Amino acid sequence: MQKQMIIGILVAIAPSVFGAGQADSVRTMTLKDCMEYAVANSTKIKVQQSNVDDAQINRREAILTALTPTVSASVGADYSFGRSIDPESNTYFNTMSFGNNYSLSAGIDLFNGFSAVNNVRVSKTALAITQSEQKQTEAEICLAVMQAYYNVVYYNRLCQLFEEQIETAKQSLARMRRQEELGQKSRADVVQLEAELADREYDLANTRQICDEQMMTLSDLMLFPMDEQLTVDTVMPEPVAGTLTVDDVVGFALSNNPSVKIAGMNAERARLELSTARWQRLPRLSASTGWSSGYYSYEGVPAESFSNQIRNHGGEYVGLSLSIPIYNRLHGQSNVAHKKNSYVRATAELEQKNRETESAVRKAFSECDAAMTAYLQSQKKTEIQQEAYQLNMKKMEQGLISGLEYQTAVNNYLKAQSDNMNSLFRYLIKQSVVKYYSGIEYVNQ
């Protein structure tokens, strides 16, 4: 019953806090809307997307390098003055001449220590890493938005509670002043209630300031336009106990969590780079082919037609090249040693990340269970304090207790309500973290 009452109060927050007379054009954003907006406009996501685009370009280049030859063409023209060599007779002459050269060549590596193949694999891994990093950044943004969103709702609710208490305090003060006039209460009792009203008004002003700050924090995280008003939906879901088990979530997270996948792919990339460094110490075999021709004319000498010269001067070639590394100042050995150390580091980081992820999942489950227990206890505490508050209010109206005793009852009730709201939001956040580790993204919860 108490749970339903609290949820009902939460449903009523939005119109009371933001005003029922707001224009219909103002959009009320849910938590999901805020997350989607933040992800869509985040500069961090734009940076990550550019990294993904670069990785896709690198992968395309690696595939083309491994499977296609390099092809180049050239054309040149020159005038010769004075003494020069006749390209046809290879003799010197002093006549001004014009030459026009054309060439086309192609080459491909037949064996280069599997560098091209490994580069394709490395580029594929690098692309997957950048995509996982983007997912990880999205999750971090969504979690930050969730925490800021719940802070806004929490302080809005506190404002609602203080407003209710201020109204009650004003009514009690009016009755107390009337009782003072009738001689039923002393001036000290009236002053006590006046002090209580002043405290409540101060708490309301302070809480409103904090609420505005939290709203600014949420707007900044979302990159919401500063000249527009952000309005959030303050209706909270009713908490439901989870059905996931720790071992199942741990197993899933160790295989699918972005941070673990990034560490694993970094280790795989380091292994491929180590393999490439070892193979590069072997000989390299490449093939090439080409065609070239030219057109020549000499001053005062009739020139053969352009087509005939191109055909008659044309030449082709095919070649194989074998490059054998003998001594390069131990560069190959040093490169292998560096890549081996990189692989050892990446493997150790993967092991550490697995450990951290398992610990984080178990901690999330523990904190989620503790938050649920605290929420249920806070509900019982709120029910008891509510009953005590109502009884003391009646006693106050009948003049059976002092203002100090009544103020104590009010403070206890306010604290119980605040603790109940705090434990509710804490549980919702911890439950979302558990769901995230189980494979449900924050924005889809």
pLDDT at position 21 is 38
pLDDT at position 425 is 93
pLDDT at position 106 is 95
> Which of the two residues, 400 and 118, has the higher pLDDT score?
118
Task: Note whether residue 80 is domain-resident.
Answer: no
CA pseudo-torsion sign 394, 395, 399, 403: negative
pLDDT digit string, tens, across residues 328-350: 888 888 999 999 999 999 999 99
Task: Note whether residue 243 is domain-resident.
Answer: yes
Q: With left for phi above 0 and alpha for psi between -120 and 50, is residue 330 left, alpha or beta? A: left
The values of phi and psi at residue 76, to 5°, are -145, 155
Here the tokens at position 272 are 């491929």
The number of folded domains in the chain is 1
12: part of which helix (H) or strand (E)?
none
Task: Note whether residue 81 is domain-resident.
Answer: no
pLDDT at position 163 is 92
Task: Note whether residue 383 is domain-resident.
Answer: yes
**Using CA atoms, how far apart are residues 141 and 43, in angstroms rounded to an integer?**
11
Task: Note whether residue 68 is domain-resident.
Answer: no
pLDDT at 191 over 90: no
pLDDT at 133 over 90: yes
State the angle between helix axes of 403-437 and 331-398 in degrees (0 to 180), rounded to the nearest 10. 150
Q: Do 109 and 116 meet the contact criterion of CB atoms below 8 Å apart? A: yes
Q: How confident is the model at residue 4 (pLDDT cuts 50, 70, 90)?
A: very low
106: part of which helix (H) or strand (E)?
strand 97-111
Q: Do 172 and 197 meet the contact criterion of CB atoms below 8 Å apart? A: no
**Mean pLDDT across 359-384:** 94
pLDDT at position 88 is 64
Residues spanned by the domain of 197: 2-42+112-282+325-444
Q: How confident is the model at residue 23 (pLDDT cuts 50, 70, 90)?
A: very low
pLDDT at position 64 is 92
Q: Do 128 and 260 meet the contact criterion of CB atoms below 8 Å apart? A: no
**Using CA atoms, how far apart are residues 377 and 2, in angstroms rounded to an integer?**
12
Neighbours of 257 (CB within 10 A): 25
Task: Note whether residue 105 is domain-resident.
Answer: no
pLDDT at position 85 is 72
Task: Note whether residue 220 is domain-resident.
Answer: yes
> Which of the two residues, 224 and 196, has the higher pLDDT score?
224
> Which of the two residues, 139 and 297, has the higher pLDDT score?
139
**Using CA atoms, how far apart are residues 428 and 374, in angstroms rounded to an integer?**
12
Q: Do 224 and 230 meet the contact criterion of CB atoms below 8 Å apart? A: yes
pLDDT at 427 over 70: yes
Task: Note whether residue 67 is domain-resident.
Answer: no
Give the CATH number for residue 341: 1.20.1600.10
The residue written with tokens 């009650």 in the block is: 168
**Using CA atoms, how far apart are residues 302 and 300, in angstroms rounded to an integer?**
7
